[in-house]
Chain A
């Protein structure tokens, strides 16, 4: 596979390390009343979609960026690649 790195351009997927569902960005609030339950869902439950999947890849043998890749799990077609940090900020993880 080839991942079109937003900064570095197309790179072989073998340069990257896969983590999984991009929902892992949405780490729950540790002080929430239902934090135990929310951390369980965060840590263990997945949509695991057959189709478009937003997922985290780390450019370990490259610039060490975490990326959010949108990829179809039935065809492996990649339709979007973003810097995970931008996604995290957009999803409200700024202080």
Chain B
């Protein structure tokens, strides 16, 4: 036997014994146990402390609605705070610890809060801790924060893996109790693709917790056989340990499958959990119902639980939850618990609030009676019952089952903001309002509480869904089952002077609700937020309705008049790890590598993230100890001889069609209609709001064929924008677009020897001399003996330069060939940093300058925006605010003292003015050390900058402690006349 409270029977596997520890003490349980059932079997019922008053708490339920028995499961990096002992499957070697107590669960110093409870009522903290002001952050708040919270999260990375997947089905059935099983059987036999999901590790719902029979076998047996039948159907997927967490738009459901949570650790290669996105044509919610408590004084002691939970512990887990038990009920279902317990040999008394309670000879029933108090320090020892006569009687019991009726689990019906409706007959909220489209509800979740009705409504819902799916139902025969009428007389709250808990985890008592009403926090949402009712990890599954009922009582209203709060996803809390899936650490986002990436890696390149791309930042050589040495060398050598840079990441868009030129005329602010074939032109692209979107080049390879380049960052948005212009604005232009970013590897070959280098690989029939292939020329050529390539004579560096493109698969080979052939010129590969330095030296704008607020005017390119044609953005670029007289203009800046740095992000001030926002004149966008000039330089935007060349101004960066003088100069630091690039 595993534990002193073990009964006979149950669904545990006594032949598989598991060892586990709780708070360092070793116990044994069985396969099939939960942590809670195993502890209860061992006589342990104190499992936690409440949030505010640190009251001793034991399990209140046997399922996922548990507010009290929450523990830190596992240890080290796998520690899972706030884990419900009632759903944690036992495994050999399980380690659990109690939480929110110090120094121990039995002796918790913070329990002193309980003595101060009169001061700690709902919202007390809004009224105090305000004086003296400084004490809030220094004293009060840290104190509150330390006391608050529940479990502790590890600082170590989660060692487990998570996965995601997509499932498609005709019918998703949520919950595998009698309704869900009947629905699955009906739909499965009709040939529908069915997914049946249940959060439990054994399917059957109440059938495995109760003792009723279906046809001539007990419920659990029927459930087991039915599950086996379903598993044998190829069109049915049965998923246990799988919680449908939310109903999202258009029949998409989120579902978490706990693949490995019942194991010591996941098997190699297996995830801990999987997030399934389930695409369903139809869905049936058959999530059952949750029993609700009755609120009475000191109703929170370990040993007091929902009556149905006691029944489940006895029937499914063969655990007695007390040696002498009382059941406090307002409905017939409480008597079912009593009957089951008595049949297991447990002494039981029933306290029924109804004067006309059913009588039986099996146990004593106290009709018209209520529980008015309880005793027991760390667990229930006795209860006080007030009889219908008004006299009180003490009962020595160590277990008390409470049944206040049942609430349908309507949660998923609310996820698209449907509001449940009050059902007077059931005294409960049932699904109402607009349900998520395609979702219907069956069984107890719809208020059909008897097993017979559950089976019947499950089948009916499936038949209806099959009809929608165009499938014919065969209507399999359903077994005969109990069909007891619902007999419940609403009874919510035993009034009294002492505290009676409504939300046990958050320590919200009936008094708190009354106080909220007194202070005008009367709307349901105010009540929740002011008292924290229903905001705990159980999301109010057992407390919300009682809270509403008490509010209705004090307000003198009916429950539906007070309202209902809607439930939000997730149905039960979900590990953040599974929502992230594989997207973490290095695999957070995909990596894009250029064709010469591995070549660069061989060279020892240092890489940097540019969006998803990895780009070589610089190529350190032996002896270089600082990145600046590498970058300076790359810049100087390129300007002196020749350098090669991988610019594959630039966006490339192929534009073809008889209207290609007209199309480019629309998307670029400057004109393209007259660009001759074989020529490239710089293009300035505006957004429709007149701000610069991107810049790049368009090369005309043929009358009806252009190749457009974009910046790396804007490749995707520019393509999207061009398709918008093509499809939505000018749908009849004869033009086609395709992104060829991935299709072509492209390299900048720059420097005075660039032509010589290229001439070694360009096939001889192509003349790339200055005359044959002048600045801004472009053409389709072949290299290395017939490999097709595209050559553009464009220059970002300001040198004589080309960009050469070859099909991606030849990129690596081309890079190697260029390096090989370039040896005689001492060719260098250069990285992103050198590229940046050279473009700053040349005064070319890049991402830092094109920051989404920049106009053509700011760039000094105002005149490029043609007024003679219609182009995107031209009209709105004319607005006065974008054309003010003192607009920011792009300028160059150099330090007055050559040793001073120019700092990107620094602001610019006129000399002699105060350093504040009112006198701000602009800012530095880009800065670098220029190895050619021997000092730092920068580009920046300066008010009226174009008229201030030569002025000495102040560069200030209070954030980084910089304040010195700089001179305003032309942005073109190197070769301002452009002689080199035309050489």
| Residues on A facing B (Cβ under 8 Å) | 1-2, 12, 17, 19, 24-25, 27-28, 30-31, 35-36, 39-40, 42-43, 56, 58, 60, 64-66, 75-78, 83-85, 87-89, 93-95
Contact = CB atoms under 8 A, between A and B. Distances in A.
A52 to B, nearest CB: 16
A47 to B, nearest CB: 18
B724 A2 contact: no
18 contacts: A1-B249, A1-B252, A2-B252, A2-B279, A19-B724, A24-B728, A25-B728, A27-B729, A43-B876, A60-B716, A65-B727, A76-B249, A85-B728, A85-B731, A89-B731, A94-B732, A95-B730, A95-B733
Given A30-B875, A88-B727, 13 more contacts: A2-B252, A19-B724, A30-B874, A31-B870, A35-B875, A43-B689, A43-B876, A56-B724, A60-B716, A75-B416, A76-B250, A93-B729, A94-B732
B878 interface: yes
B729 A88 contact: yes
Nearest to A27: B729
B688 interface: yes
Contacts of A42: 688
A66 B730 CA distance: 13
B235 interface: no
B720 interface: yes
The 8 closest A-B pairs by CB, nearest first: A30-B870, A88-B731, A2-B250, A39-B875, A85-B727, A1-B249, A85-B731, A66-B727
B732 A78 contact: no
Contacts of A1: 248-250, 252
Contacts of A56: 724, 728
Nearest to A29: B870
A24 to B, nearest CB: 7
A95 to B, nearest CB: 5
A24 B279 CA distance: 32
Interface of B: 248-252, 279, 416, 434, 437, 688-689, 716, 720, 723-724, 727-733, 870, 874-876, 878-879
A75 B435 CA distance: 11
A95 B732 contact: yes
Contacts of A24: 728
A35 to B, nearest CB: 6
B732 A58 contact: no
B391 to A, nearest CB: 58
A85 B729 CA distance: 8
Nearest to A24: B728
Contacts of B252: 1-2
B875 A58 contact: no
B728 A88 contact: yes
B727 A78 contact: no
B728 A84 contact: yes
**Which of A27, A35, A76, A94 is the most central at the interface, judged by chain B CB atoms within 10 Å of its CB?**
A27
**Which of A35, A43, A77, A89 is the most central at the interface, judged by chain B CB atoms within 10 Å of its CB?**
A43
A19 B251 CA distance: 24
Contact of B728 (A66, A76, A77, A95): A66
Contacts of A58: 720, 723-724
Nearest to A83: B727
Contacts, number: 77
A76 B715 CA distance: 31
B724 A66 contact: yes
A77 B727 contact: no
Contacts of A89: 731-732
Given A19-B724, A66-B724, A94 B249 contact: no
A21 to B, nearest CB: 12
Contacts of B251: 2
Nearest to B720: A58
Contacts of B729: 25, 27, 88, 93
**Which of B250, B252, B416, B879 is the most central at the interface, judged by chain A CB atoms within 10 Å of its CB?**
B250
Given A30-B874, A39-B875, A43-B876, A78 B250 contact: yes
Contacts of A12: 279
A76 B733 CA distance: 34
A77 to B, nearest CB: 7
A27 B873 CA distance: 11
Contacts of A85: 727-728, 731
A75 B416 CA distance: 8
Contacts of A40: 876, 879
Contacts of B723: 58, 64, 66
A78 B689 CA distance: 30
**Which of B248, B251, B876 is the most central at the interface, judged by chain A CB atoms within 10 Å of its CB?**
B876
A84 B250 CA distance: 22
B710 to A, nearest CB: 15
A75 B933 CA distance: 63
Nearest to A56: B728
Contacts of A2: 249-252, 279
A25 to B, nearest CB: 5
A39 B876 contact: yes
Given A2-B251, A77-B437, A94 B731 contact: yes
A81 to B, nearest CB: 12
Nearest to A64: B723
Contacts of B733: 95
A90 B368 CA distance: 75
A12 B249 CA distance: 11
A19 B725 CA distance: 13
A76 B879 CA distance: 37
B716 A36 contact: no
Contacts of B416: 75
Nearest to A93: B731
Contacts of B874: 30
A31 to B, nearest CB: 8
Contacts of B728: 24-25, 56, 66, 84-85, 87-88, 93
Contacts of B878: 36
Nearest to B166: A12
B492 to A, nearest CB: 35
Contact of B727 (A84, A94, A95): A84
**Which of B434, B689, B731 is the most central at the interface, judged by chain A CB atoms within 10 Å of its CB?**
B731
A62 to B, nearest CB: 12
A76 B250 CA distance: 8
A27 to B, nearest CB: 5
A87 B728 CA distance: 8
A93 B733 CA distance: 10
A40 B279 CA distance: 42
B275 to A, nearest CB: 14
B612 to A, nearest CB: 14
A42 B348 CA distance: 76
A87 to B, nearest CB: 8
B244 to A, nearest CB: 18
B727 to A, nearest CB: 4
Nearest to B251: A2
Contacts of B732: 89, 93-95
A1 B732 CA distance: 31
Contacts of A75: 416, 434
Contacts of A88: 727-729, 731
Contacts of B876: 39-40, 43
Contacts of B724: 19, 56, 58, 66
Contacts of A83: 727
A30 B874 CA distance: 9
A60 to B, nearest CB: 6
Contacts of B879: 36, 40
Contacts of A36: 875, 878-879
Contacts of A31: 870
B443 to A, nearest CB: 26
A19 B876 CA distance: 19
B787 to A, nearest CB: 29
Nearest to A89: B731
A60 B720 contact: yes
B880 to A, nearest CB: 10
**Which of A2, A39, A95 is the most central at the interface, judged by chain B CB atoms within 10 Å of its CB?**
A39
